[in-house]
């Protein structure tokens, strides 16, 4: 694909339809795409711009088959996301995208799928979960392992409950620190890997979370027999352009914006254990 | 040296006395003529309209962390080697507005910056810098998305290269196969020849536009003998190059030494000042800044050159990925000489030596790479 005459840095102003508070520091924007709807593949991200404040990369977390609404779930971590959290229904937000690589959903067909998410890592995986559930018959066992820091930081609570109530999906949730009103699993998300049921000979794993969580989750998955070429993860770096021009997201020879953000462990294993690469 | 001369290129002789005509014909063809001038005790690329604007009789002495312009009394127009600034500043300016957003009744709208593109002539671009343009083309034109500003400017430039007769103390173009003679990527390539009180240029033309310009300046066909004299100038220059870099397997050498102790040692001297990235003709990192007017009714997004030596470059929520100077120095060097190959199929370094000259701590990439290479022998 050669986008000859497109100005890749020109943002498109779109209307916010709905704002939903998820957690004290996390919110969801539902954005009305311009004519024709918004099409993306699970795993991709957009550059979102707040008027006069700045632009940040945010993964798309809605249903890929519902192109009439563009959904982003965002945690407040800096000045741009802070400003974004103050936007209301009817306000305008700038959108460029979608950019980047996707989850291996075609490759996963006919196989068991293990999805591991830590904290705010669940939103980038949700489009993949939607896709799998939309085409449930094409996949084998589906396992979701989710870990949050504590009960109060569990995101998409209702959806997690719905997914857990399905007979064709296995969902395990854990929190790093238990409290009096939590009666579920306690421990980091890696502790859930040994109890997940899947056929390790051909299962595909997809994960998003802090890098340290992903490093240790990989070790657990390898221990369970999933080979590195079947383990996928989404990476995060500073990005100013999203199209491989600004140079910020370089990770050795990879541009995370265009070669990633989704990589197989096999592609990046030599980098994952290098400090400050 | 004959490999450099493709058979279809035309050769002319231009007398130094006719050089003003060359400038006039460039400008007469609608180009903004840019070339070397002397400013602030350095060679600075800027507007040139007269021979008097050129650094006539100046040469430069360059060593690691040292740059001095010197009057040498020579009549040469191009007797210097390289100034600190590269031609990148005209094609990919250090600051540029990307877009303007304006509030409207229904929200706001965004408009791309549509500044008119002026045709530019690059007079005096060196062979290594021609390669730098080829490298930037790979980065900014050949990906999925091309940079519209760079593309608009790049497509209209007239390239008048000047082959090197002198070499600097930090140049290593020969090692990078980028000089000292221009091989491709130019309209005209000049070789300045001063012998027996005579002063003229052998001009190689690769395009019809080049022919037109040089003929307007009263250039006449060159004889084979004159052409070989010009080649001899380049051959002699190549012999003068003292700095060398062994590039064999450098991509893999660095890739397998990402945790080498040398990074930390060198970072002890590195000031992370970002000079090397700012003088580098191929460094392309940019960042984006946002500005609003006082009323908050309009906002601008401006891009400016950035450097991987800053903490902000790798900042994500929670802190910078490359916190230590070691990691930032490693990022820069491994990108130029190793990961660039994976990304674009060519070297990110063209051997111009600017990063060595302008490093206040005299860090020399050729020494650094050799040190890592040598450490593998033991």
DSSP labels, A170-197: EEEEEESS--TT--SEES-GGGGGGG--
First to last CA, chain A: 30
Residues A133 and A250 in one domain: yes
Q: Is the pLDDT of residue A7 over 70?
A: yes
- Output the DSSP codes for B168-180: -TT--HHHHT--S
Which residues have a Cβ under 8 Å from the Cβ of A86 and sit 6 or more positions away?
none
Residues A84 and A151 in one domain: no
**Domain range for residue A37?**
12-99
Residue A3 lies in a domain: no
pLDDT interval class at A5 (50, 70, 90): low
Arithmetic mean of pLDDT, A203-218: 97
> Which neighbouring-strand residues pair with A50?
A54
Residue B353 lies in a domain: yes
Residues B336 and B224 in one domain: no
Residues A242 and A129 in one domain: yes
Residue B298 lies in a domain: no
Contact A7 B148 (CB under 8 A): yes
Residue A4 lies in a domain: no
Residues B85 and B204 in one domain: yes
Residues B82 and B196 in one domain: yes
Residues A177 and A145 in one domain: yes
pLDDT in tens, B219-243: 999 999 999 999 999 999 999 999 9
Q: Is the pLDDT of residue A9 over 70?
A: yes
Arithmetic mean of pLDDT, B263-290: 97
Residues of A in contact with B318 (CB under 8 A): 77
Contact B110 A11 (CB under 8 A): yes
Residues A80 and A122 in one domain: no
Residue B300 lies in a domain: no
Q: Which of A13, A15, A55 sits opposite B109 (nearest CB)?
A: A13
H/E stretch holding A75 = strand A70-75
Residue A2 lies in a domain: no
CA distance A205 to B372: 38
Residues A261 and A177 in one domain: yes
Residues of A in contact with B287 (CB under 8 A): 240, 246, 248
Residues B193 and B335 in one domain: no
Arithmetic mean of pLDDT, B255-263: 96
The DSSP 8-state label assigned to residue B339 in this structure reads I
Residues B221 and B263 in one domain: no
Residue A104 lies in a domain: no
Residue B302 lies in a domain: no
Domain count, chain A: 2
**Residue in the structure block whose two tokens are 């027996």:** B196
CA atoms within 13 A on the CB side of B7: 0
CA atoms A216, A221, A226, A230: torsion sign: negative
Q: Å from A1 to nearest chain B CA?
A: 6
pLDDT in tens, A33-55: 988 899 999 999 999 999 999 99
Put the strands of the sheet holding A113-118 in their side by side order: A185-186, A170-175, A142-148, A113-118, A204-208, A231-234, A262-264
Residue A277 lies in a domain: no
pLDDT > 90: percent of chain A: 94
Asked whether B38 and B58 are in contact (CB, 8 A), the reply is: yes
Which residues have a Cβ under 8 Å from the Cβ of B274 and sit 6 or more positions away?
B307, B309, B310
Residues B132 and B154 in one domain: yes
Structure tokens at B60: 């430069």
Radius of gyration of chain A (CA): 18
Structure tokens at B167: 């070499």
Residues A121 and A84 in one domain: no
Could you tell me the CATH number of the domain that includes residue A249?
3.40.50.80
Arithmetic mean of pLDDT, B245-267: 96
State which of B201, B217, B240 marks the end of a domain: B240
Q: Does A276 touch chain B (CB under 8 A)?
A: yes
pLDDT in tens, B59-77: 999 999 999 999 998 999 9
Residue A241 lies in a domain: yes
Asked whether A80 and B316 are in contact (CB, 8 A), the reply is: no
Residue B177 lies in a domain: yes
CA of residue B249 relative to chain centroid, distance: 24
Residues B165 and B254 in one domain: no
Asked whether B171 and B243 are in contact (CB, 8 A), the reply is: yes
pLDDT in tens, B314-340: 999 989 999 999 999 999 999 999 999
Q: Does B208 touch chain A (CB under 8 A)?
A: no
Which residues have a Cβ under 8 Å from the Cβ of B134 and sit 6 or more positions away?
B185, B346
Residue B330 lies in a domain: yes
CA distance B44 to B48: 11
Residues A131 and A231 in one domain: yes
Q: Which of A92, A237, A260 to mutate to test the interface with B (most CBs of B within 10 A)?
A: A92
Residues A250 and A181 in one domain: yes
**Domain range for residue B319?**
250-289+309-375
* ipTM of the prediction: 0.92
CA distance B87 to B350: 14
Residue A158 lies in a domain: yes
Residue A7 lies in a domain: no
Arithmetic mean of pLDDT, B269-292: 97
Put the strands of the sheet holding B158-162 in their side by side order: B42-47, B32-39, B120-125, B158-162, B188-195, B198-205, B10-15, B220-221
Residues B190 and B275 in one domain: no
Q: Is the pLDDT of residue B1 over 80?
A: no
Residue B107 lies in a domain: no
CA atoms within 13 A on the CB side of A194: 5
CA distance B12 to B217: 11
Q: Does B105 touch chain A (CB under 8 A)?
A: no
Residues B222 and B274 in one domain: no
Q: Is the pLDDT of residue B5 over 60?
A: no
Could you tell me the CATH number of the domain that includes residue A35?
2.40.30.10
H helix count then E strand count, chain B: 14, 16
Domain count, chain B: 2
Residues B228 and B283 in one domain: no
Residues A145 and A267 in one domain: yes
Residues B30 and B166 in one domain: yes
H helix count then E strand count, chain A: 5, 15
Residues A134 and A261 in one domain: yes
pLDDT in tens, A162-185: 999 999 999 999 999 998 899 999
Residues A265 and A138 in one domain: yes
- Output the average pLDDT for chain A: 95
Asked whether B360 and B275 are in contact (CB, 8 A), the reply is: yes
CA distance B349 to B371: 18
Q: Are strands B95-104 and B298-305 parallel, antiparallel or unpaired?
A: antiparallel
Residues B78 and B204 in one domain: yes
């Amino acid at each position: 694909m050669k986008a000859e005459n497109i100005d890749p840095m020109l943002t498109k102003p779109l209307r916010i339809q709905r704002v939903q508070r998820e957690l004290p520091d996390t919110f969801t924007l539902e954005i009305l795409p311009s004519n024709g709807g918004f099409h993306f593949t699970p795993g991709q991200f957009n550059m979102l711009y707040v008027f006069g404040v700045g632009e940040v990369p945010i993964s798309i977390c809605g249903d890929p088959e519902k192109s009439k609404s563009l959904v982003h779930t965002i945690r407040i971590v800096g000045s741009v996301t802070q400003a974004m959290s103050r936007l209301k229904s009817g306000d305008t937000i700038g959108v460029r995208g979608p950019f980047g690589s996707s989850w291996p959903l075609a490759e996963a067909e006919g196989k068991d799928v293990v999805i591991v998410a830590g904290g705010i890592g669940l939103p980038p995986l949700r489009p993949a979960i939607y896709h799998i559930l939309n085409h449930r018959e094409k996949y084998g066992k589906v396992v979701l392992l989710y870990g949050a820091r504590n009960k109060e930081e569990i995101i998409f609570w209702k959806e997690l409950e719905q997914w857990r109530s399905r007979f064709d999906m296995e969902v395990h949730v854990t929190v790093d620190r238990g409290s009096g009103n939590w009666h579920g699993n306690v421990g980091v998300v890696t502790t859930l890997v040994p109890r997940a049921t899947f056929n390790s000979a051909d299962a595909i794993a997809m994960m998003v979370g802090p890098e340290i969580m992903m490093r240790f989750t990989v070790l657990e998955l390898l221990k369970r027999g999933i080979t590195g070429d079947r383990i996928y993860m989404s990476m995060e770096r500073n990005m100013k352009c999203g199209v491989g021009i600004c140079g910020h997201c370089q990770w050795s020879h990879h541009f995370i914006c265009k070669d990633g953000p989704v990589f197989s462990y096999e592609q990046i294993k030599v980098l994952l254990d290098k400090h400050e690469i | 040296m004959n490999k450099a001369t493709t058979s279809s290129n035309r050769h002319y002789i231009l007398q130094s006395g006719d050089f003003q005509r060359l400038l006039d014909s460039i400008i007469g063809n609608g180009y903004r003529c840019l070339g070397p001038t002397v400013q602030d005790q350095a060679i600075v690329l800027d507007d040139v309209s007269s021979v008097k604007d050129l650094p006539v009789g100046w040469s430069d002495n360059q060593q690691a962390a040292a740059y001095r312009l010197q009057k040498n009394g020579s009549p040469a127009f191009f007797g210097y080697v390289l100034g600190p600034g590269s031609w990148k500043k005209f094609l990919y300016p250090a600051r540029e507005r990307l877009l303007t957003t304006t509030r409207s009744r229904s929200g706001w709208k965004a408009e791309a910056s549509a500044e008119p593109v002026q045709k530019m002539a690059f007079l005096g671009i060196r062979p290594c810098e021609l390669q730098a343009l080829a490298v930037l083309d790979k980065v900014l034109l050949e990906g999925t998305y091309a940079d519209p500003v760079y593309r608009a400017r790049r497509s209209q430039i007239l390239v008048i290269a000047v082959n090197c007769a002198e070499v600097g103390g930090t140049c290593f173009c020969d090692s990078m196969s980028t000089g000292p003679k221009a091989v491709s990527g130019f309209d005209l390539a000049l070789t300045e020849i001063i012998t027996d009180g005579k002063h003229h240029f052998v001009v190689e033309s690769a395009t019809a536009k080049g022919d037109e310009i040089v003929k307007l300046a009263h250039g006449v066909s060159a004889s084979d003998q004159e052409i070989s004299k010009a080649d001899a100038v380049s051959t002699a220059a190549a012999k003068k190059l003292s700095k060398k870099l062994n590039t064999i397997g450098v991509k893999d050498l660095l890739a397998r030494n990402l945790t080498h102790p040398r990074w930390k040692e060198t970072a002890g001297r590195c000031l992370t000042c970002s000079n090397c990235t700012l003088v580098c003709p191929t460094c392309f990192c940019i960042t984006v800044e946002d500005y609003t007017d006082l009323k908050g009714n309009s906002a601008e997004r401006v891009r400016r050159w950035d450097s991987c030596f800053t903490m902000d470059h790798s900042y994500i929520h929670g802190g910078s990925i490359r916190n230590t100077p070691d990691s930032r120095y490693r990022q820069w060097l491994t990108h130029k000489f190793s990961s660039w190959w994976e990304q674009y199929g060519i070297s990110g370094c063209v051997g111009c030596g600017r990063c060595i000259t302008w490093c206040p701590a005299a860090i020399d990439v050729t020494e650094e790479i050799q040190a890592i290479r040598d450490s593998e022998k033991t």
